[in-house]
Amino acid sequence: MSHVKKLVFTALFAALGVVLSAFSIPVGASKCFPIQSMLNVLAGVLLGPSYAVCMAFVTSLIRVMLGTGSFLAFPGSMIGALCSGLLYKKFHRLWGAYLGEALGTGVLGAVAAYPVAVLLLHARTAAFAYVVPFSISSFAGAAVSVAVLELLRKTKILNALQQLSR
């Protein structure tokens, strides 16, 4: 896929993330957003790790600017997108993308959110306080992405999109 096509898909996924941000679940200072996790997996599989991270950053930035997101979205979504894209790139298997999202957002992103919560949100919280809510959100989003990618695979659309990205 050319650079321009990947940018268009990145923008499309970011726009979907912003528009669908109404489907968030508030848990303490964080807003669990399983749609972002689904988009992280889709971008990781179709666009690769760098574009997936850019998509997650742009989505988080716009959501924070609109007041529909939290600063905690930056580490969670970006690390999840990176891990999803990297594991898919390494193993060329969809399970790598799902696992990368679940571990990247659910564990690594949650731990990385701690300093953001303390420094920017002035929250008094434990270092692992976000692991459970971020994990729930990332597992739910990864599960939705399994359904979406399976549907795309069965209809041969996934293969066509992956051929475009090569």
Q: Amino acid identity, residue 2?
A: S
* Token reading at 137: 């959100």
Full residue range of the structural domain in which residue 120 is found: 3-20+32-164
- Asked if residue 96 belongs to a domain, the reply is yes
CATH number, residue 90: 1.10.1760.20
- Asked if residue 97 belongs to a domain, the reply is yes
- Asked if residue 153 belongs to a domain, the reply is yes
C-beta of residue 102 within 8 angstroms of C-beta of residue 132? no
- Asked if residue 67 belongs to a domain, the reply is yes
The residue assigned the tokens 């920017």 is 120
The single-letter DSSP state of residue 129 is T
DSSP per-residue codes, 45-88: HHT-HHHHHHHHHHHHHHHHHHTSS-TTHHHHHHHHHHHHHHHH
* Token reading at 156: 């041969």
- Asked if residue 78 belongs to a domain, the reply is yes
- Asked if residue 77 belongs to a domain, the reply is yes
Alpha carbons 103 and 126: distance in angstroms, whole number: 19
| Structural domain count of the chain | 1
- Asked if residue 80 belongs to a domain, the reply is yes
Q: Is 150 helix (H, G, I), strand (E, B) or coil?
A: helix
Alpha carbons 50 and 27: distance in angstroms, whole number: 29
- Asked if residue 113 belongs to a domain, the reply is yes
> To 10 degrees, the CA torsion angle through 142, 143, 144, 145?
50
pTM: 0.90
pLDDT in tens, the chain (166 residues): 688 999 999 999 999 999 998 877 776 656 678 899 999 999 999 999 999 999 999 999 999 999 888 888 899 899 999 999 999 999 999 999 999 999 999 999 999 988 887 777 677 777 678 888 888 889 989 999 999 999 999 998 988 888 777 6
Q: Amino acid identity, residue 47?
A: L
